[in-house]
Amino acid sequence: MKTKYLLPYKSRWIGLALILLHVPIRAVWEIYYPNLDEHKLPTLPQDSMLFTNAHLFYITSSILVLTGLFLIAFSKEKIEDEQISQLRLDSLRWAIYVNYALMILTLIFTNGVNFIDMLRLNLWMPLVFFIIRFRWVVYRQKKISKSSDL
């Protein structure tokens, strides 16, 4: 992955701040609207208002999380070399494999509202899988290189 397509290193911290900002906003929303059914699909024309409070909140919170995850996933490392680029590519491949395997299982074993929830989760799960795998592999590499230096 060419580094010219990656975001600056400081973008990671902005992404983390956006995700951490989402947590209290979501908690306050759940306190004030605990029984709001955002899964209700409109059945009648008068129920099909697109920009309800629940819908706007869902859009806003999803954008916060997706933007944060994107900034974390695609920001440069302090030292961006060929090995990090290879680890990034391998982690991205692994994340896509895992995500599609889970998506296939979801298609087979869920239906109705549960299926819609799984599709919503599929918006950000590839990024989550990628971030977890990439950070884990980078951590292992640093640990191995420190032990070989001794």
SS3 (DSSP) at 75:
strand
pLDDT in tens, the chain (150 residues): 566 788 999 999 999 999 999 888 888 888 877 765 554 544 445 555 667 777 788 888 889 999 999 999 999 998 888 899 999 999 999 999 999 998 888 888 887 767 777 877 888 899 999 999 999 999 999 888 888 766
SS3 (DSSP) at 36:
coil
d(CA 125, CA 141): 24
d(CA 142, CA 1): 20
Give pLDDT, residue 139: 93
DSSP 81-136: -HHHHHHHHHHHHHHHHHHHHHHHHHHHH--HHHHHHHHHHTTTHHHHHHHHHHHH
Give pLDDT, residue 144: 87
pTM higher than 0.75: yes
